[in-house]
């Protein structure tokens, strides 16, 4: 019996049992992989929602504001900063602060004129004409700040949008998301057709000459964004990672690299941190905008030094996030 099993039945039964075992394992991988893929899909969906919020708060995604509800009234459309700057409450508060800033500038000019008239230090003395010219600059500047701020916001948004397009658009103008990108990367060995995977497995005879074994080889003709991953990469209306049936048509759930769970969770944490930074940035820009007339009002005394510091800080807050956008994309 030992001779029969080793030399007669063995070479026949072992390959059959090996193939049966492999098919059983593939079925189990597919069933368990379906559950694992649903978890991966949820993580990728969260990443895409956070990317959407990321774009809104940084100024990449336009928003629409209906002051009197969706049914009527004027509509404000643009980046979130532009919409906030055009809100009636913000504009009314700004003009009140501007009026108070002009009053402060007048009082400081009176003080500067009096100080110039009674100052005996002729070397550091400021002429009355110089104080009055600074007063005119501060008054004009206080009323020009809203237009200047909106202009800088639009320029910043344009530069940011151009930068985002440069690092996230494909050769044919297609646009992917972080979730779809991670899906494609996790599916490099999940296609049903082995020819479309990065790693190919071939069945070869064992060194002893009995039975067969699987040997992995690298597919030299592999294309990451070739079919069937190309449509999933650009989130086609039907072929996208959220459509589980379409994914099952092209990919074996058991073949996905589920270590992308860890990558996805890490990316979610990073994006949440960035979101908190961008929300704080919005409040800081609004605060700097609201108090800008007080910096302009200091011109009669310091020749615009405080205003220059405000301008540098305001521009610095506007361009905050450029690096985050590049790194994310």
What percentage of the chain reaches a pLDDT higher than 70?
84
Least confident of 52-66, 109-123, 193-207, 235-249: 109-123
How confident is the model at residue 147, as a pLDDT? Answer: 82
Rounded Cα–Cα distance for residues 145 and 314 (Å):
12
Residues in the chain: 329
pLDDT in tens, 79-116: 888 888 878 788 888 888 888 888 888 887 787 777 76
Q: Which of 146, 178, 147 is nearest to 60 (CA)?
A: 178
Q: Identify each DSSP E strand in the chain by its residue range.
A: 63-65, 76-78, 199-205, 212-218
Mean pLDDT score of the chain, rounded to an integer?
Answer: 79
Closest CA to 196 of 235, 154, 174, 224: 224
- Which backbone phi and psi does 325 adopt, to 5 degrees? -65, -45
Mean pLDDT along residues 239-257: 87
Give 187-239 pLDDT, tens digit per residue. 888 888 888 888 877 666 666 656 666 667 787 888 888 888 888 888 887 88
Integer Cα distance of 38 and 269 in angstroms: 20
Return the number of other C-beta atoms located less than 10 Å from residue 63's C-beta.
16
Helix (H), strand (E) at residue 324? helix 322-328
Residue of 291, 260, 109 lying closest to 182 (CA atoms): 260
Tokens matching residue 285: 């820009």
**Structure tokens that stand for 188 in this block:** 């490099």
Average pLDDT over residues 232-247: 86
Token pair, residue 222, equals 């592999």
At 165 the pLDDT is: 74
């Amino acid at each position: 019996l030992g001779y029969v099993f080793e030399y007669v039945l063995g070479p026949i039964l072992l390959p059959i049992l090996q193939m049966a075992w492999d098919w059983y394992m593939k079925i189990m991988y597919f069933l368990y992989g379906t559950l694992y893929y649903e978890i991966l899909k949820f993580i990728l969906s969260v990443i895409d929602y956070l990317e959407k919020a990321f774009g809104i708060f940084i100024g990449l995604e336009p928003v629409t504001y209906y002051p009197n509800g969706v049914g009527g009234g004027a509509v404000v459309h643009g980046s979130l900063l532009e919409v906030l700057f055009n809100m009636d409450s913000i504009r009314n508060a700004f003009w009140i602060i501007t009026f108070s800033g002009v009053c402060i500038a007048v009082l400081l000019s009176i003080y500067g004129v009096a100080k110039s008239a009674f100052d005996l230090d002729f070397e550091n003395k400021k002429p009355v004409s110089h104080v009055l010219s600074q007063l005119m600059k501060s008054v004009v500047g206080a009323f020009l700040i809203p237009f200047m701020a909106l202009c800088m916001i639009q320029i910043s948004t344009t530069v940011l949008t151009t930068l985002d397009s440069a690092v996230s658009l494909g050769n044919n103008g297609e646009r992917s998301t972080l979730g779809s990108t991670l899906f494609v990367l996790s599916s490099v060995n999940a296609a049903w057709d082995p020819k479309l995977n990065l790693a190919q497995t071939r069945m070869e005879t064992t060194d002893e000459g009995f039975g067969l074994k699987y040997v992995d080889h690298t597919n030299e003709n592999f294309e990451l964004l070739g079919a069937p991953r190309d449509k999933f990469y650009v989130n086609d209306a039907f072929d996208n990672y959220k459509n589980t049936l379409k994914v099952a048509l092209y990919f074996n759930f058991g073949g996905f690299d589920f270590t992308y769970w860890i990558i996805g969770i890490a990316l979610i944490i990073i994006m949440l941190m960035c979101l908190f930074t961008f929300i704080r940035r919005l409040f800081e820009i609004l605060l700097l905008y609201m108090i800008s007339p007080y910096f302009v009002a200091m011109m009669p005394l310091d020749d615009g030094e405080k205003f220059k510091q405000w301008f540098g800080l305001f521009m610095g807050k506007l361009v905050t996030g450029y690096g985050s956008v590049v790194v994310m994309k």
